[in-house]
Every structure is written in structure tokens, then in C-alpha cells.
Amino acid sequence: MPHRIRPTYNPKSPQMIFFIIAVAVFVAEACVMLLLQFLPDHSVWSGALIDATLLLLLISPMLYFFLFRPMVNYIAQHQKIEETLRKNEEEQFKLMVRTSLDGFMITDIHGRFLEVNDAYCKQLGYSREELLQMYISDVEADETPQETEKHIKKIRLEGSDFFQTRQRHKDGHLVDFEVSANYSDLYGGRFYSFLRDISERKENEKRIYDLAHFDALTSLPNRTLFRDRVHQALNTAKRDKSRLALMFLDLDKFKPVNDTYGHDVGDQVLKTVAGRLRECVRESDTISRIGGDEFVILLPNIDEAADAMLVANKILHALALPFELDGLRLQLSTSIGIAVYPDHGNNEITLSKHADTAMYWSKDAGRNCVRLYEPDQFSI
């Protein structure tokens, strides 16, 4: 036999209330009619009064026992169930927070820590007692206290926020967090935030970016990143009507170093060259290793070609100094070619071609020198 679902008694439903009242009135009226048969004759008005009195006396207890008492019990039972469920939810939430691998914190509207879980304590290296004496601004690394205050106001206004931030570990290193924060007006205002440590993910993203944009040996920008910076510098120069220079460098007689002493020594030479080049240029300049022993340098925002020549001669002197590597003393030099925007071209391809040409003019002139591109003649 199929299982039959019995209807649940719910005294709060309008249909049940109407049904109970109707039954109570019907039963009470029936009882009154029977009782009136045993009473002496009376006038219409006195009969109506007796009828109403008996109805009231009979309906009231019936409604109490069959409607109001079950309804009160029903409400009390549901309140008890809801209270039990609420307590269970609170216990489950507390258990989830305690055992969560993500950090959790409760702060007030001033950013003072009110509660933290074990995961957050481990993430920052502080004990629970230490954190409860601190403010969120004490561990924030990216935001100033004023910026933190503005962020708190923003979350209060919008009710929630999802963002990334960086906080300082007790030992001083930085921890990247992904934060989900929610605000409640209860208890004078509370922020409930879950924090996921994404430091490893950030490091992986940086590693992938570096592999795609930087030379693995020298950590200099590679050809891709260099071209992007040249493109930006050209746009700026065209807008501001300023000059920039491209400088091509090729180490003289580097191949014999690799052949004689091996690639490990050759790699050390290239690293040392990269370091010396950095010391010869401004922070706004860009050095790139485009392959082998070939380097290119972008000098944005120069006043005239002589500025680039000055840098080039500084580089010649720096790379002419001896290389002391693992007991070896090596002497090298470099050949440099320079092209200037807008004198020698107005795009990257033309400037690169002319700077490369000037570099070969430098080699033909005996190496260890610099040449500025000129359509018809050399210029030192």
C-alpha cells in the first residue's frame, strides 16, 4: 500500500481557526437549544439574553481548550525549535570558524580587534591575546591609518566588500590576503571578515610575469617588455615633443670567453655587465638583454643627442674595467650605436635599425667606441 501522508495540524492556519470556531458555535448552540427546553416560559427578550449568556459560557471554554490553548502550545513549541536551531547554527558557525583554514576576525567600527580565530593568529604570527590589544591599522601594510578609516566607512555604507590587501607579519614579512568583509549594525557596529592567505598565489603570478617579461640570467627586461616601454616612450615623446634615444651594445670578443672558460664564466660576465649598466643609467631608463651578448638601452626624455653620447661614454669606461671572476681577470670592451628620435626615425623599427647600423659602424671603427647614427657620415 502506498504510504498516506497525514495532514499536519496547524492551529494557526485560517482554515483551521474558522473550522474550530464554526464547530464551537454549532455545538454550543445545539446545547443551548436543548437547555432552553427545560427552562420555564419566558419573554423573547429574556430568552435572547439567556441564549446569549449560555452561548458565551459554552463557547469560551470550548475555544480555550480547542483553539487558544493548542495555538499557545504550538507557538511555544515552534519558539523552542527555533531557539534550538539557532543555537545549533551558532555552534556550527563557531566550529566552522575555529576549524577554518582561512583567518577570521571581528572588528568594531574603529578597527579594533574583538575576536580572531587560530588560523588568523598563525597567519600573522601573533597570539590571540596580542591581537585583541591591537587595531587593524597596526597590521595593515598597504594602507595608511587614514586610508583604513576610509575603507571602514566604505564597507559600513555598502554593507560588504571583497578586496585584496597586504598585512605585516609579526616577524616583518608581508602576507597577501583576499578579504570578504561584512558589516552589521548590531552591538554598535561590527565587521565580520574572512581572510584567505594568497601569498603563494601572488608569488606564482609574479614568477609567471617575470618569466614572460624578464631575462632569466640577468633579470633585465626582455625584448617583449622592452618593446612595450619603447612604444610608451615614443607616445610620450610625440605628445610632449621631446627626444629619446635607443642605444645598441655588443660586447667585443665575447665568444672567445665562452669558448675558453666555459658558459658558466660567460654567464657571470653577462651578469656583471648588467650590473654595471644599471649603475650608468637613470631609474627612468630601461636596459634589456635581447640575446647572447647584445644589450639595448632606452633613454627617454633627453634634451639632445649629446646626452646619449655622455651615457654611452660612461658605459664604455665601466665595461673597460677588468672583470674579476673566480680567480680570472678578464678584459672586455663594447661597441655602441645610438639613434635618436625624431632625428633618426619616428618609430621603433626605424630607430632600432639605425641604432644597430651605428653599432656595426662602431665595430668597423676598431671596437670599444660609440657611433651616433648619421645618414651620410660618422659622428663621435
- Model pLDDT for residues 47-78, shown as the tens digit of each residue: 555 556 655 655 666 665 666 666 677 677 76
Q: What is the CA radius of gyration of the chain?
A: 43
Place of cell 570578504: 180
* Each residue's pLDDT tens digit, 341-359: 999 999 999 999 999 999 9
Which among 240, 246, 251 has a CA at the least distance from the CA of 318?
251
C-alpha grid cell, residue 206: 609574479
Under 8 Å between Cβ of 247 and 308:
yes
pLDDT in tens, 236-251: 999 999 999 999 999 9
Task: Give the chain's mean pLDDT.
Answer: 83
Instruction: Classify residue 114 by burial, with Cβ atoms within 10 Å: 0-12, 13-18, 19+.
Output: middle
The C-alpha cell at 59 is: 463557547
- Taken as a whole, the chain contains a residue count of 380
pLDDT in tens, 125-146: 999 999 999 999 899 998 888 8
Q: Does the structure show a pLDDT above 80 at 34?
A: no
**Could you tell me whether strands 328-330 and 323-325 are parallel, antiparallel, or unpaired per DSSP bridges?**
antiparallel
Active site residues: 293
Torsion-angle region of 253 (φ positive above 0: left; ψ -120 to 50: alpha; else: beta): left
335 and 249 Cβ atoms separated by less than 8 Å:
yes
Query: Contact, 59 vs 26, CB < 8 A?
Result: no
- Banded pLDDT at 217 (limits 50, 70, 90): very high
pTM of this structure? 0.64
All domains in the chain, ordered by first residue: 14-95 (no CATH), 100-201 (3.30.450.20), 215-372 (3.30.70.270)
Cβ atoms of residues 298 and 281 within 8 Å? no
- Residue 2's contacts (CB-CB under 8 Å, 6 or more residues apart) are none
What are 161-198's pLDDT values in tens digits?
Answer: 999 999 999 999 999 999 999 998 888 888 999 999 99
Q: Rounded to an integer, what distance in angstroms lies between the CA atom of residue 230 and that of residue 228?
A: 5
Contacts of 233 (CB under 8 A, 6+ apart): 244, 298, 300, 301
